[in-house]
Structure 1
Amino acid sequence: MSGAARGVAAMVAACTIWGLSPMYYKMLSHVPAMEVLSHRMIWSLAFFGVVLAAQGRLREVTRSMNTSRSFGLVAVASLMIAANWALFIWSVQTGRTTQTSLGYYIYPLVAVVIGRLVFGERLGAVQWTAVCLATVAVMVLTLGLGTAPWIALILALTFGLYGMIKKQLDVGPVVSVTAEVLLLVPVAGFILLQTYHNTGTVFGEDMRTMALLIFAGPITAVPLILFSFAARRLAMTTIGLLQYINPTLQFACAVFVFSEPFGQWHLVAFVLIWTALAFYSVSALRQDSARRRAVRAAAASGTVL
């Protein structure tokens, strides 16, 4: 199997785990979302620590925060991902997985807008069309349901801001996430202590719940490691397109497994989002093709010279 094929397989596996993760968090509906989040932080750190220790890379975690700027970036990134994880877990537990899938469908378009506003990246007419269609979809849901899809919007925005911050860090995803959860673990410990003193923690009450909570580590770490593996072997366009597997599987879980409500307003909004993503994907493919042609032309020119 070629390197690109292994990259595709890893990316598909990562997105499949992310996309089916609502089924895992649904099994923990009897555990308060903040308690689940705390265990996710703690066991993720343990898992990442073992992986990095085996690779002899633990020192990279402290190096990723060795300046005030890098520490600040990691701290803000940790807040963004904690907010994203907490809202995602709570949404799945309370029957709002349809909105989480919408949020991760919207995210690539939010990232495009952030790229324009923060990094000055230029947007073509097709990309602007995709952004406008996504905006119309949100307006349709707001008017049709009488309330804004705030869960989807917050998930897309926090993940978009998280990606913006990560772009400014000069470390790989595994090391940076380890640093982030390292900063969050004291907060997680405080939450679990408060829970224990106030209502009692569910951890240790039965083996099934305890095993599920510990499994929060691997279910967080493994797809990220797979993603890191794929990112080194695939073009960003390919990665972007394969990432749609995640919200598609979340959507399938919401509608076909959890039987969440899906009315006409949802249908109209999702059709608009899917259309927007089709425009966005076509634009991304064209840009990637143009970039490849430019690289080949430059290489040919260099050979002639």
Structure 2
Amino acid sequence: MDHSAPPQHDRTGLFSALGAYLIWGLLPLYLILVASVPPFEFVGWRIIWTLPICLAIALARKQWPDLKKAVGSPRTIAWLSLSAGLIAVNWVVYIWAIQNGQVYAASLGYYINPLINVLLGTMLLGEKLSRSQWVAVGVAALGVALLAGGALTTLWISLTLALSFGTYGLIRKRLDVGSVPGLTIESALLLVPSAGVAWYYAQTQGSSFAISPLLSLLIIAGGALTAFPLLLFAIAARKLPYSTLGFIQFLAPSIVFILGLTVFGEELKPAQAACFACIWTAAAIFVWDLVKRSRKPAAS
């Protein structure tokens, strides 16, 4: 049996993906509570508190041998260094966007991400798309083109989020390391620069961690809200076709979009509205195709 390609429908992968994207979709509500913390400092604290959580999970799951094996591989460390840098960039840009009232731009970044996933999956992983799925890709691409023509000032946010997370997911999918050991090593690799950032803010502006016990607890909670969805995503990335995973991702930015309209009260520009309409149409086509194919009997 060929184990190089994941099954089209894996329940563990599916539920892991849904869990990850649900948490990420609701994350702006949490970011409201820590809005007083500068983005760079907050990402530093996220990483600092993610590491002990990952170490505890690795201990509970008896994954120390896997962790030791990964640490002993220079190739694995090199790739995890790259993925760690990508996810750090993703976090900083996302938090900055939310804190600066660019909720739709952040949402659109994760709408564009499935296009990146599809392109990476077909070009680098040899995954095949049906005709309907290619139609969905085309409609989504049209939406991105409309956005590029009418919202250039915030397009950099969307593209940075899409490219950084799309490439991160591809690396984690191809790398032979488990989700917990991988995230543990990524957090460890980022620990020193994160501690440096936290120290810098403590010396220049005063540490946000020392303002109040409640804010400190909320910052610590950021470690759990970082670790658990990324672990779920890493599981899903290894068990689902990358193109399929990308379109499930529409759940998170849809939630963020609704929050932008209701909670954050951000104005929706015409170019953004047109882009959302195209991408929602693309998502509907893709999901319809998946459902249709899932009902066909498997070939013997």
Report the TM-score range of the alignment, normalised by the length of the smaller protein. 0.7 to 0.9
The answer to whether 1:118 aligns with 2:124 is: yes
Q: Corresponding residue for 1:66?
A: 72
Alignment partner of 2:153: what SS? Answer: coil
How far apart, in 1, do the equivalents of 2:49 and 2:77 lie?
Answer: 22
- 3-state DSSP of counterpart to 1:170: coil
Give SS of 2:209's match. Answer: coil
State TM-score, norm by structure 1: 0.84
Question: Any stretches of 5+ residues in structure 2 without a counterpart?
Answer: 1-9
In structure 2, the partner of 1:204 is 210
The verdict on how the C-alpha distance between 1:234 and 1:140 changes in structure 2, with shifts beyond 3 A counting, is closer
Asked whether 1:180 is paired with 2:186, we answer: yes
| Normalised TM-score (structure 2) | 0.86
Write the distance in 2 (CA, Å) between the matches of 1:34 and 1:43: 15
Query: Percent identity over the alignment?
Result: 34
| Alignment RMSD (CA, Å) | 2.8
Letter in 2 for 1:69: R
User: For the Cα contact (< 8 Å) 1:126–1:280, is it kept in 2?
Assistant: yes
Is 2:55 aligned against 1:49?
yes
| Alpha-carbon shift at residue 146 of structure 1 (Å) | 4.7
Partners of 1:121 and 1:159 lie apart in 2 by 19
Counterpart secondary structure, 2:257 = helix
In 2, the alpha carbon distance for the partners of 1:77 and 1:252 equals 30
> Within 2, Cα distance between the matches of 1:287 and 1:67?
40
Amino acid at match of 1:181: S
User: For residues 243 and 149 of structure 1, do their structure 2 counterparts lie closer, same or farther at Cα, with a shift above 3 Å needed?
Assistant: same
CA distance in 1, matches of 2:121, 2:13: 25
1:143 paired to 2:149: yes
Segment drifting more, 218-227 vs 99-108: 218-227
Question: For the residues of structure 2 that align with 1:196 and 1:127, how far apart are their CA atoms?
Answer: 50
Q: Establish whether residue 131 from structure 1 lines up as the match of residue 132 from structure 2.
A: no
State the number of aligned residues. 291
Q: Which moved more, 1:50-59 or 1:225-234?
A: 225-234
Relative to structure 1, the CA distance from residue 152 to residue 253 in structure 2 (aligned partners, 3 Å threshold; closer, same or farther) is: same
Would you say the 8 A contact 2:112–2:144 is kept in 1? no
Among candidates 271, 280, 283, match of residue 274 of structure 1: 280
Which of the two has higher C-alpha Rg? 1
**2:147–2:271 Cα contact (<8 Å) kept:** yes
Residues 113-155 of structure 1 show CA distances to partners (whole Å, capped at 9, x for unaligned) of 1123323434443333323322221221232235362211111
Q: Does the CA-based 8 Å contact 1:40-1:217 persist in structure 2? A: yes
Aligned match of 1:78 = 84
Partner of 1:300: none
1:293 pairs, out of 283, 294, 298, with 298
User: Alignment partner for residue 171 of structure 1, among 177, 185, 206?
Assistant: 177
Q: Which residue matches 2:256?
A: 250
CA contact (8 A) 1:103 1:156 kept: yes
**DSSP 3-state at the match of 2:177:** coil
1:31 aligns with 2:43: no
Q: Which consecutive residues of structure 1, in runs of 5 or more, have no partner in the other structure? A: 298-305
Contact 1:142-1:148 within 8 A present in 2 as well: no
Q: Is the 8 A contact 2:107 2:257 kept in 1?
A: yes
Residues 129-184 of structure 1 deviation map (CA, whole Å, 9 limit, x = unaligned): 32332222122123223536221111111111011111221122222111111101
Query: Could you tell me which amino acid in structure 2 is paired with residue 16 of structure 1?
Result: L
